């Protein structure tokens, strides 16, 4: 049996085990964005299957008359050498740069909502503090 390498465990033939995932994309923009992201994580595109997507509603009529092409769907297979998940410290996910970029407006609204709730609680406590005799 072969010894494991730095990238992960190996098979009996000495080849590293591969992780494989298959993803389906309905829009070209989603496919291109995800491919860039996955390449940064070490994934490699093995195959891409393009097929026309099912037209819906008015687009079906426009595609049927030949005025437009149907949208293309992608079925993509990725693989990479096995990489064990790194042990994260508690709350480490808050430092993930993708979280800040992709949900920045959500974080702003969450902070605003928390500040408003804190202000409301402070107002109630201040108001009722005068009504309770000590």
| Residue pLDDT, tens place only, 8-51 | 445 556 666 888 999 999 888 999 999 999 998 889 999 999 98
Q: Cα–chain-centroid distance for residue 46?
A: 20
What pLDDT score was predicted for residue 97?
67
What pLDDT score was predicted for residue 77?
94
What pLDDT score was predicted for residue 1?
37
Q: Please return the burial class of 102, using the count of CB atoms within 10 Å of its CB with bins 0-12, 13-18 and 19+.
A: exposed
Q: List the beta bridge partners of residue 48.
A: 76
Q: Is the pLDDT at 3 greater than 60, yes or no? A: no
What totals of helices (H) and strands (E) does the chain contain, helices first?
4, 3
Q: What angle do CA 71, 72, 78 make, to 5 degrees?
A: 150
What pLDDT score was predicted for residue 130?
75
Give the number of residues written for the chain.
134
Across residues 87-107, what is the average pLDDT? Answer: 67
Residues 6+ positions from 69 with CB-CB distance below 8 Å: 52, 63
The pTM of the full predicted model, rounded to 2 decimals, is 0.47
State pLDDT tens for residues 59-96: 666 656 666 666 788 999 999 988 777 676 777 767 77
In 3D, which of 45, 27, 48, 26 has the Cα closest to residue 36?
45
């Amino acid at each position: 049996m072969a010894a494991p390498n730095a990238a992960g465990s190996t098979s009996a033939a000495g080849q590293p085990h591969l992780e494989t995932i298959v993803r389906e994309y309905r829009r070209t923009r989603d496919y291109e964005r995800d491919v860039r992201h996955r390449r940064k994580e070490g994934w490699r595109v093995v195959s891409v299957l393009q097929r026309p997507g099912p037209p819906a509603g008015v687009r079906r009529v426009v595609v049927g008359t030949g005025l437009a092409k149907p949208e293309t769907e992608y079925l993509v297979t990725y693989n990479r050498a096995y990489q064990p998940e790194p042990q994260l410290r508690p709350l480490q996910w808050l430092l993930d740069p993708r979280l800040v970029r992709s949900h920045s407006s959500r974080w702003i609204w969450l902070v605003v909502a928390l500040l408003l709730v804190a202000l409301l609680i402070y107002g109630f406590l201040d108001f009722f503090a005068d009504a309770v005799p000590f």
